[in-house]
Amino acid sequence: MSVKSEILKEQEHLIQLRRWFHQHPEAPHEEFKTTAKIVEELEKLGIECEYLSPTAIAGKIIGKKGAGKVIALRSDTDGLKMEDLKEVDYASKHLGYCHACGHDAHTATLLVAAKVLKEQEAEFAGEVRLFFQPAEEVGGGADFFVEQGYLKEVDRIFSVHVVSSYESGKVAITEGPVQASSDFLEIKVTGRGAHVSTPEKGADALYIASQIVVSLQSIVSRNTAPTDTAIVGIGLLEAGTQYNIVAEHARLEGTTRAFTMEQRNYINQRVEDIVSQTAAMLGGEATVTFSEFAPPVVNDPDATKEAQQVANAIFGTENVITNQEKALGADDFSMMMNETKGVYAYVGTHNKDKPNTGLSHHHGLFDIDEEALLASCQLYVDFALLHLKD
């Protein structure tokens, strides 16, 4: 019996799983109910699994034909801190939390793919590793798998993300960079307090912070080639205590984004230089601290060609997009891709006849065409089998 027919038999189960996860969204690193459900489903299937953290799960399927390649399949599991605005029976039951990015679909899809692969274990050699990763939205979830050695010996790693900008029946798999790096930055400015009527006796931390914001924009406009894409953005500035006091302290938060490691390192160094030098020039001091959320997502050439081969057979060549425009969003799946050859695919879930399926991700009404998940599931299964049956 074909893989496609096996997956089709699981359609109702796949939809039920997706809706259960949709009703129970949880914050990053707090996916406790989600994780318990994942473990429950894996244990029903007789799939060995292990906790890497309270909310990070790794499963394992061993082929019955002996030693062979190791293929890793990954999904993300966390929700968002926002209200679900949909009026449907599977709307979120967790007030203030919502699955508005498709992670519920990713989790359900990988679980069903695991079921199909488990049923196929007598037909292949090698090993399938199943990664259910927490905290993609804030970064750090991929670290558990990398630091605990679960990428060792892995020949390929594959992940799928639903996307509302493509119609159901379309998939995008593009070689090279497809998502940017993401680094969080915090700047602390120290000045010298004074009465606003005698500003010469102080060093205005608010003014220094304002000049830093303006000067940082020169990195993209004057230090980055116009043909390159990058972001240096400040989203928060806090300063001062009262209207008639020269601010002694200021704090800023922001982010940098880039598509190569060289550009990422260069931009972050320029941020440090501008912050310290601007503050010193204006009589104050400033420091910047970076938290590295994720490197760029760069699809490996070999893995991309293999995934395209699989996608062509499922979707038809005319429905496989191979020149997708780069996005300045980020995904710490890139941490895993740095350890082995990996590929990240985007499966369309917009159906014009189904409400809210074309809305932007992170919108309170966001929804998906659940029928598109069947092809997404087959992508996981067929990509693994392409290698394990070889």
Crossing angle of helices 373-388 and 103-119, rounded to 10° = 40
Output the pTM of the full model. Answer: 0.92
Pair (9, 92) in one structural domain: yes
Of 264, 294, 324, the residue at which a domain comes to its end is: 294
Pair (209, 267) in one structural domain: yes
Provide the pLDDT for residue 49.
Answer: 96
Pair (199, 58) in one structural domain: no
Q: How do the pLDDT tens digits run along the chain, 390 residues long?
A: 467 888 999 999 999 999 999 999 999 999 999 999 999 999 999 999 999 999 999 999 999 999 999 999 999 999 999 999 999 999 999 999 999 999 999 999 999 999 999 999 999 999 999 999 999 999 899 999 999 999 999 999 999 999 999 999 999 999 999 999 999 999 999 999 999 999 999 999 999 999 999 999 999 999 999 999 999 999 999 999 999 999 999 999 999 999 999 999 999 999 999 999 999 999 999 999 999 999 999 999 999 999 999 999 999 999 999 999 999 999 999 999 999 999 999 999 999 999 999 999 999 999 999 999 999 999 999 999 999 986
Pair (322, 272) in one structural domain: no
Measuring CA to CA, which residue among 95, 112, 107, 91 is closest to residue 27?
95
Find the CATH number of the domain harbouring 138: 3.40.630.10
Radius of gyration of the CA atoms of the chain, in A: 24
Which residues form the domain of 14?
3-178+296-388
Provide the pLDDT for residue 4.
Answer: 82
CA distance readout (Å), 52 to 35, 49, 219, 238, 367? 11, 10, 39, 37, 30
Provide the pLDDT for residue 332.
Answer: 97
Pair (160, 186) in one structural domain: no
Pair (201, 166) in one structural domain: no
Pair (305, 384) in one structural domain: yes
Pair (10, 136) in one structural domain: yes
Pair (252, 217) in one structural domain: yes
Pair (107, 52) in one structural domain: yes
DSSP 220-232: HHHSS-TTS--EE
Provide the pLDDT for residue 390.
Answer: 66
Domain count, the chain: 2
Pair (337, 359) in one structural domain: yes
Of 269, 294, 319, the residue at which a domain comes to its end is: 294
Find the CATH number of the domain harbouring 229: 3.30.70.360
Of 279, 294, 309, the residue at which a domain comes to its end is: 294
- Please tell me whether residue 147 adopts helix, strand or coil conformation: helix
* Cβ proximity of 171 and 320 under 8 Å: yes
